[in-house]
Amino acid sequence: MGTVGTVIAVVVAYFCGTIPTAIIVARSKGVDITSFGSGNPGASNVGRALGTRYFVLVMVVDAAKGGLPTALLLGDRPVAYACGAAAIIGHVFPVTRRFRGGKGIATGAGVVLAVQPLVMLAALVSWLAVLKLSKKASVASIVAVPVVVVGFVVSGSPGWELWSIVGLSLLVEIRHVSNIKRLLQRSEPTISNETS
């Protein structure tokens, strides 16, 4: 793909990432998700407000925001990765919402699913296991991210792919700093009574 085509693809992927799935879904049920719980426009907050069905819906659509642009360009892996990164950044820092977006877990999961399905499967298993044990979605997400990095190492991914994933993983983990602080303070609520 030429330079112009690459730029267009990356810009389109970024704006795919900015689609405010959580806000749209919550609003359709009469809820302003930015004023509920943590105010975070992500699947977990929607789940707290509306229940598991809507949590899954937002997760799937947010994953598609990252997965589809990436999968469509897998014939040129560097461009595919660039589009995946753009979608995650669009979700986390949407220009349409003054750069205040979600935490990037679901959108990142879609990207990983497109480029390394088996790694994504391992991360999903770890996410579900940790969620069951800890009852905290934030803990499950924080643990699943390094599982992805380890998966890329074990799978023998080229260096540039590994470092791309490391960079995106750091972004997602940084977005969970507030959760980590609450965990250290033992004030992070469980999935049954989360408010942030």
What pLDDT score was predicted for residue 195?
37
What are the residue boundaries of the structural domains of the chain, listed by start? 3-184
Smallest CA-to-CA distance from 134 within 75, 188, 79 is with 188
Query: For 24-28, which contacts have Cβ atoms below 8 Å and span 24 or more sequence positions?
Result: 25/50, 25/54, 25/57, 25/58, 25/61, 26/50, 26/54
**Per-residue pLDDT for the chain (196 aa), expressed as one digit of tens each?**
789 999 999 999 999 999 999 999 999 999 999 888 777 888 888 888 898 899 999 999 999 999 999 999 999 999 999 999 999 999 999 999 999 899 999 999 999 999 999 999 999 999 999 989 988 888 999 999 999 999 999 999 999 999 999 999 999 999 999 888 878 888 775 665 443 3
- Spatial CB neighbours of 110, under 8 Å, sequence gap ≥ 6: 62, 63, 64, 65, 66, 67, 68, 70, 84, 87
Smallest CA-to-CA distance from 65 within 32, 25, 114, 30 is with 114
Total Cβ atoms within 10 A of residue 77: 15
Question: CA-CA distance, 196 to 176, in Å (whole number)?
Answer: 11
State both tokens at 146: 């390094």
